Amino acid sequence: MKTLVDKLIENRTLTRDEFITLINSRNEEISEYIFENARRTSEKHFGKNVYIRGLIEFTNYCRNDCYYCGIRKSNANCERYRLSKEEILQCCKNGYDLGFRTFVLQGGEDGFFSDDDMCDIISQIRQAYPDCAITLSFGERSYDSYKRFFESGANRYLLRHETADAEHYKKLHPKGLDLENRKKCLYHLKEIGYQVGTGFMVGSPYQTVENLVDDLLFIKEFSPHMVGIGPFIPHGDTIFADEKPGSLELTLFLTGIIRLMLPNVLLPATTAVGTVDPLGREKSILAGANVLMPNLSPAGVRSKYLLYDGKICTGEEAAECRVCLQKRVESIGYKIVVDRGDYVPEV
Ligand code: SAM
Ligand code: FES
């Protein structure tokens, strides 16, 4: 099995069958071999640096009804909120003072915020923080909308493809949402000039190993600047309430593989990983991740942005998470840096 990993390191990909074999026959020894190499690769590009992104969850209203998601429109138990422009700018100020140089505006697909509203918010952040990156993550919009946001000063966009198998996509989403449009959005974002992040959930209902391999192959083909993966975690108010969560072990294994496929990609140790295991984020960094995305949203709204049950850091203030993360990262021999942490192409 080590020869397959060596081949992956050399070619930065494997065939579909080889990936299936690697995942199906993984064991502790092979995982450790992948993690060692993933750490070495990450260190070559980023040293022991870990980049931080300040997440501002600015609305939990959503027009969509993704079966897995706690803020889906038909969840009547979700207490809805929106942050005002002033509140968003205040989050950025707190974040800047704490050393964040990337702000991520994430939310449901909320029609309340028109393109004009978003352009206004983005350009005000751009004006106030010319040295910071602005990342957007609020779902599918038209080419023209994405272009306007980019021209207003946004630099990056996160849009997970969720699953690269069209049939599996249909089992996770209601009619009206399809993989084709999701992918089209991703290609539009790249064409416009954004640094683009995609990704998927590990262990989502009905997912097979073949689906995961298709995710890896899609990621290879699309070649994103960032990849976000995390275990699926059920939310009690969704139709997947009784499904079992995705495994940390498989998530880490795939994290290592992605680092070896895309050596310089920005790869977060996600909140979902920290939710399924108290040391999940540390383990993820040791498997090749190099980014953390703590929350800058006001403490009063955090517990309302519940995509899944048990989400960590809903009671903490931004400053508390910053200190906590510093300690966690240092405990494994890495350091958090005050830096935009842009994608740097390989020379
Ligand atoms: N609305 C935007 C979008 O669709 O890209 C951004 C917000 S969306 C809630 C962010 C991500 O949360 C999704 O891409 C999905 O992968 C993840 N997510 C949602 N529900 C989840 C769950 N139950 N477990 C794990 N991750 C989940
Ligand atoms: Fe939020 Fe540890 S990162 S409390």
Ligand 2: centre distance to CA 74 (Å): 30
pLDDT tens sequence across 86-118: 999 999 999 999 999 999 999 999 999 999 999
Does pTM surpass 0.95? Answer: yes
**Does the C-beta of 279 come closer than 6 Å to ligand 2?**
no
* Ligand 2: centre distance to CA 147 (Å): 34
In the chain, the number of structural domains is 1
Handedness of CA 244, 248, 253, 258 (dihedral sign): positive
pLDDT band at 347 (very low <50, low <70, confident <90, very high): confident
Q: Is the CB of 317 under 6 A from ligand 2?
A: no
Residue 345 domain flag = no
C-alpha distances (whole Å) from 209 to each of 22, 130, 202, 272 are 10, 44, 10, 20
Ligand nearest to the CA of 227: 1
Q: Would 346 be classed as within a structural domain?
A: no
Q: Which domain holds residue 222?
A: 2-337
Question: Do the domain assignments include residue 295?
Answer: yes
Ligand 2 atom closest to 294 (CA): 3
- Establish if 34 belongs to a structural domain: yes
What is the pLDDT, as a whole number, of residue 263? 98
- The reply to whether 101 falls in a domain is yes
**Residues above pLDDT 70, as percent of the chain:** 100
> What is the rounded CA–CA span in Å between residue 201 and residue 18?
21
**H or E segment and range at residue 58:** strand 54-59
Assign 136 to helix, strand or coil: strand
In a domain, 118, yes or no: yes
In a domain, 347, yes or no: no
Which helix (DSSP H) or strand (DSSP E) does residue 7 occupy?
helix 2-11
Separation between Cα atoms, residue 137 and residue 160, nearest integer Å:
9
Contact, 89 vs 125, CB < 8 A?
yes
* Residue 342 located in a structural domain: no
CA of 1 to the centre of ligand 1 (A): 33
Q: Residue 297: which CATH number?
A: 3.20.20.70
178 lines ligand 2 (CB under 6 A): no
pLDDT attached to residue 2: 87
Ligand 1 pocket (Cβ < 6 Å) reads 68-69, 106, 108-109, 137-139, 159-160, 162, 201, 230, 232-233, 235, 272, 307-308
Closest approach atom of ligand 1 to CA 235: 23
